[in-house]
Amino acid sequence: MESKILNKPIPEEGLSRVDGRLKVTGKAKYSAEYDVKGVCYGVMVGSTITKGNIKSIETKTAERAPGVLAVITYLNCPNIPGYHTDNQPDKGPLKIFIDDKIYFNGQPIALVIADTYERALFAASLVKADYTKDQHQTDLKANLSSGFSPSKAKDYLRGQEDAYKLAPVKIEHEYTLPTEVHNPMELHAIIACWDADDKITVWDKTQGVKSTQRVIAQAFKLPPENVQVTAPFVGGAFGAALRTWPHEIAAVAAAKLVKRPVKLVLSRADMFTSVGYRPHTWQKVGLGATADGKLVGITHEASGQTSVYENFTEGVVNISQLMYASPNVNTRYRIVPLNVNTPTPMRGPGEATGAYALESAMDELSYALNIDPIELRIRNHADSDPLSGKPYSSKFLKEAYQLGADKIGWSERSQKPGSLTKDGWLVGYGMGAGMFGAYRSNATVTARLMADGTLFLQTSVTDIGPGTGTAMASIAAESMGISPEKIRVELGDSALPPSPTQGGSQVTSTVGAAVFDACKELKDKFRQLDGGADSTDYTALLQKNKLQKLEVTTASKGSAAMNNYAAFSWSVHFIQVYVNPNTGVVKVNKAISVADAGHIVSPKTAASQIKGGSIMGIGMALMEEAVIDHRYGRLVNNNFADYHMPVQADIPQVEALFVNKPDPYLNPMGAKGMGEIATIGVAAAVANAVYNATGKRIRELPITPDKLI
């Protein structure tokens, strides 16, 4: 941080969330909670078939139901001028209500608008459609052969192809990850309110108010500044709110049609079919090594599902190009179009899926070699980026291995599976590593110091839960040498200075750096007022100069020097499990995650971020699975009763540790991202621990008890 810190306003353990009190007292308002005069309510009707056409749709009964204002279908939907007239691969998200085609089960076929939510819900039950059914395909494994290489993910080769096959020690296995659904606590919701014919305000659940503004402006052919997007609080989002979905466009169109504000809140079931998910993915990894554990070759293939109308692509196999210093690597990625809705990034998109396979395979190799899994990774540690050849901007992964191994008591582990027991339970230890690009993009921050000493920080970025506002306040407090209580952070509004979408583990690096730069500029202004002296008595300086406030708006971006470095955040996860040999129940007893995420600017929220990601990875390993009945192409567990994810009782005390050494190049704080690495590698660590406990290698997630007995 800045060398000249005049006092130390931040406690060692970090700030508590600046918005914590608002959140726990219910004062924080989420998008569906705004009181908008004259608001009416929308409820979606989904297709009950999986592929085909709507033959006829009966809306009269619904239209005559009490309180109904409109029933929108493809037959009467108002023209959305920026919509393409077709759904085609690579032409963006699904366009609803444009024709009679059905691509997946649950696809919206109607939107009912009524004066109350209950009346809209009842009327929605009265909409009946007749269909012409076609044969659908929803089963990834049965359709692997129809996969193709998407234009954005070419096959990769370094050295010799399939070199692992010639190595003295080799393993080759297939790994499968089921579909996982984001399911944040807050349902996706929008209130759309036209203020004039060409001017609209939306309160929307989104990770990026500027991106939502751009998409709505484009769809309705409006100047962006005529679209006001507000999202000061977001109740969790792990990628599902990165893009603007059809229900948001539909609500805006409906509000125009009924000439009233429209509120549309997705149901929990809608959340499974309307806002993306982590796609069902099949992988095969081949690893070959010398007898002393030096990797000779890595071959990593993956096939993930996508929809028939959009080519969703993610970096599943990239981690195998990057993680270890293997001279020979080849990867192949395919997407398989199915009659499902389009997937979307979900925390550690691609990498979390790929790391499950690669880090499981490394564990399998460690047993084949009889080398400790940490030792195997150290022997193959990459000292520079194997893909670009560039030096790393910073990498402290070996320190992270050590910290985690010490904390979990790795020395207690036995290399012989099934050999440790406690109170009748089998005990096992596992670890898995992760990595994700450390990015920084552009952001602008306004910093305004008021006569009473209050510092306002303003930028449009949303805070979806990681503690962006808290990190901003921490950086500003240290930089300005003022108490955090005097800082007000204002976020999540498209009228504020531009910031990136919250995602890709880049917000603290990007927006934090903009806060840092803005504070620096503001301090310079005060220094000028002070005749070059360094005082932090800002109120006195304002008073002396008869000023109500002093304000700067600073645009900030990374330096060109970053091009000379490969920048990544790194993580390693350690898991201790207890497995009941009679019932197959797996209890995670200890979870330790260690992050090399540069300098930690906000220790409390950083620890929460890592713990949340670890819990998500435990869910991925042991519970989460969206199940389709392929006879009907329909989800059977699209609710919180049947779709399992960890609750308090499933999770032990999860610990987050940090190497906490600054990255010298990425940004002035030395911080790197941590949102994604928190999850990447966790599922493998759990699967590896289960193997260590039982000698059973489950290569198809989730590891449910039936697979262990």
The contact set with ligand MOS (CB under 6 A) reads 207, 238-239, 242, 345-347, 349, 503-504
Between 180 and 625, CB nearer to ligand MOS: 180
Question: Which one, 242 or 550, has the nearer CB to ligand MOS?
Answer: 242
CB 444 within 8 A of CB 473: no
Query: Smallest distance from the beta carbon of 239 to ligand MOS, in angstroms?
Result: 3
Could you give the count of Cα atoms lying within 13 Å of 610 in the half-sphere of its Cβ? Answer: 29
Shortest CB 302 distance to ligand MOS, Å: 17
Q: CA-CA distance, 467 to 32, in Å (whole number)?
A: 21
Contact at 8 Å (CB) between 504 and 438? no
- Cβ proximity to ligand MOS: between 347 and 448 the closer is 347
SS (H, E, C) 462-488: CCCCCCHHHHHHHHHHHHHCCCHHHEE
* Token reading at 183: 């399911």
Which token pair is 282? 């099949």
Least CB distance from residue 209 to ligand MOS, whole Å? 15
List the end-to-end C-alpha distance of the chain, in Å, as a whole number: 54
Smallest gap from residue 504 Cβ to ligand MOS (A): 4
CA nearest neighbour of 635 among 41, 89, 90, 180: 180
CB closer to ligand MOS, 239 vs 432 = 239
Nearest residue to 204 (alpha-carbon basis) of 115, 274, 265:
265
Shortest CB 619 distance to ligand MOS, Å? 15
Q: Which residue has the tokens 């005390």?
A: 653
676 is catalytic: yes
Among residues 310, 351, 625, 676, the one annotated as catalytic is 676
Residue 54 β-bridge partners: 131
**Which structure tokens are listed for 592?**
């330790």
Q: How far is the CB of 472 from ligand MOS (least distance, A)?
A: 19
Residue with smaller CB distance to ligand MOS, 42 or 467: 467
Closer to ligand MOS at the Cβ: 87 or 569?
569
Measure Cα distances from 627 to 349, 508, 514 in Å.
20, 36, 44
Instruction: State which residue, 239 or 481, has the beta carbon closest to ligand MOS.
Output: 239
Residue 50 or 614 with smaller CB distance to ligand MOS = 614
CA distance 325 to 304: 26
For 563, residues 6+ apart whose C-beta sits below 8 A from its C-beta are: none
Minimum Å gap between C-beta 626 and ligand MOS is 17
What residue has token string 């400790």?
Answer: 372
Alpha helices in 552-698 (DSSP H): 603-622, 682-694
The strands making up 421-422's β-sheet, listed across from edge to edge, are 421-422, 425-437, 568-579, 586-596, 654-658
DSSP, collapsed to helix, strand or coil, labels residue 177 as strand
Question: What is the smallest separation between the CB atom of 505 and ligand MOS, expressed in angstroms?
Answer: 7
Q: Are 269 and 639 in contact (CB under 8 A)?
A: yes
Alpha-carbon gap, residue 654 to 17, rounded angstroms: 19
Which residues are the active-site residues? 676
